[in-house]
Structure 1
Amino acid sequence: MFSLQTMFGQGNQFYTLLEEAAVAAHDASKALHEMLRGTDRQPALDAFKLARQREREASDKISQALVDSFITPIEREDIEALGSALYKIPKQIEKFADRYSLALQHLEHIDFAPRAAMLEQAASVVVKMIRALPKMKLDQMKALSDELRALENEADRLMLELYRDIYSGKLDPLQMFLLKEFFEILEKAIDRCREAGVVAYEIVLKNS
């Protein structure tokens, strides 16, 4: 039977799809951390490609749902902004994994695992923020936002230490290039998490 509920829907599917996108991003970060802390550190690119595929599917479903739905639980622009921010996280992680697989023979002396652990923590906080979104509790979201900001600040501090190593004169040109290239990709991935967190926090700030 035709009903207004069928026509307009409840809009709750957007929260589900956004959570799916956030979980896919977190899974990509976990796969990266697991790879980099392993003894052989051999890239298993299938895990990253699967996470990216799940992210793309969630993004496509969000776009289609925005077309099909008359009612959304939050503003359409906010859904689009958050979906776009989440989409960029596993994309950045896959970029690292793809390049790492090509340069592995030159990277055996570099320990990326601590930074990858920070990225995994940041992606985990993003998942918590997305799951908390329907409740629209400002205090809870602010606490998570502060946690994410602290991780970003720590990542920035570690990058400054890295630059001191790069410009110390102790490294050859190839080592300098690789250190800068790969750590900046990881830093940008953490920045992507922070960007998604900012969007989520602003949504709650606007709607609380």
Structure 2
Amino acid sequence: MSLNSIFQYFVPKDKKFFPLFEQAGSNLIEMSKLLKEAVNASDAEKRKEIVRKIEDLEHKGDNITHQIHLELGKNFITPFDREDIHALASSLDDVADFINGASNKMDLYKVQKATEPMIEMADLIVEATDHVAKAIFELKDLKNIRNITDSCVRINSVENKADYIFDKAVADLFEFEKDAITLIKHKEVLSAMEDATDKCEDVANVLESILVKNA
């Protein structure tokens, strides 16, 4: 058992990092649900309003990440390795960035009507962020390793589905979409959404690394 592991028993783990990580996870769920709402919105002004809300939440996520980094600088003893805390905070922040990026692209490129693949991808992002938040919530009690592992497996499964939908959607665009500008717009939005699921998988990879080190 490492010295850091021994110290864990004497550290009030739930007062610093874990509440911040849980806030970040909850923020991602809220962002993903708003993205789904934006994708399904038929009114342009309504979508703009949702996009602004997502951007505000992305800034909130930045503040949470900044607070985690401040706590790293102030606390000598941490619940798990410092580099893993940094990696987890950064990967959660990346998910928020790409959710925000997807919604911004829909607005900036004036995508009038979301395609079926966009709707499916938005649903998958909601599913992925839900599993991310569940895994983060379980992280404060490493006795529930199976629950974290199950969430990581589900995140990987969602990411695989997103890859398939993205590849199929892009193939269909190249085959059936005759307007080059529309093709580029749709591909860019889909790419940002697919990147968001990739970043959820990055979170899962960090979590699995933490589990291995603290087993």
**Residue of 18, 22, 28 corresponding to 1:19:** 22
Tell me how far 1:107 sits from its aligned partner: 3.4
Tell me, yes or no, if the aligned pair for 2:98 and 2:196 is still in contact at 8 Å.
yes
1:186-201 → structure 2 map (5 Å cutoff)? 186-201=193-208
Counterparts of 1:92-107 in structure 2, within 5 Å, are: 92-104=98-110, 106-107=111-112
Deviation at 1:30, TM superposition (A): 0.9
Q: How far apart, CA to CA, are the structure 1 residues paired with 2:91 and 2:198? A: 10
Count of matched residue pairs? 200
Which residue number corresponds to residue 43 of structure 1? 48
Distance (whole Å) between structure 2 residues aligned to residue 38 and residue 181 of structure 1: 19
CA contact (8 A) 1:11 1:73 kept: yes
Which of these residues, 34, 37, 47, is aligned with residue 37 of structure 2? 34
1:152-191 alpha-carbon deviations (Å, 9 max, x no partner): 1111111221122122154321122122111011000111
CA distance in 2, matches of 1:140, 1:108: 38
1:142 paired with 2:149, answer yes
* Distance in 2 (alpha carbons) for counterparts of 1:144 and 1:36: 25
Q: What's the secondary structure of 2:48's corresponding residue?
A: coil
Q: Distance in 1 between matches of 2:55 and 2:114?
A: 26
In structure 2, the CA distance between the partners of 1:109 and 1:151, relative to structure 1 (3 Å rule), is: closer
CA–CA distance in structure 1, aligned partners of residues 189 and 80 of structure 2: 37
Tell me the CA shift for residue 202 of structure 1: 1.5
Alpha-carbon offset, residue 88 of structure 1? 0.9
Asked if the contact 1:11/1:71 (under 8 Å) is kept, the reply is no
Corresponding position of 1:10: 12
Question: Does residue 164 of the first structure (1) align with residue 135 of the second (2)?
Answer: no
**Normalising by the residue count of structure 2, what TM-score does the alignment of the two structures yield?**
0.86
**Cα distance in structure 2, aligned partners of 1:67 and 1:174:** 47
- Mapping for residues 78-97 of structure 1, pairs under 5 Å: 78-97=84-103
Cα 1:91–1:207 shift into 2, 3 Å: same
> In 1, are the aligned partners of 2:11 and 2:79 still within 8 Å (CA)?
no
| Distance (whole Å) between structure 2 residues aligned to residue 58 and residue 141 of structure 1 | 22
Question: Which aligned runs of 4 or more in structure 1 are off by greater than 4 angstroms?
Answer: none
Query: What do the CA deviations read for 1:133-167 (whole angstroms, capped 9, x no partner)?
Result: 12223322221111111101111111221122122
Counterpart in the other structure of 2:115? 110
**What is the 5 A alignment of 1:44-83?**
44=49, 45-83=51-89
2:209 is the counterpart of 1:202: yes
Q: How far did residue 99 of structure 1 move?
A: 2.1
Residue type at the aligned position of 2:119: A
Q: 1:163 to 1:11 in 2, by over 3 A?
A: same
* Cα distance in 2, alignment partners of residues 11 and 77 from structure 1: 17
**TM-score with structure 1 length normalisation?**
0.89
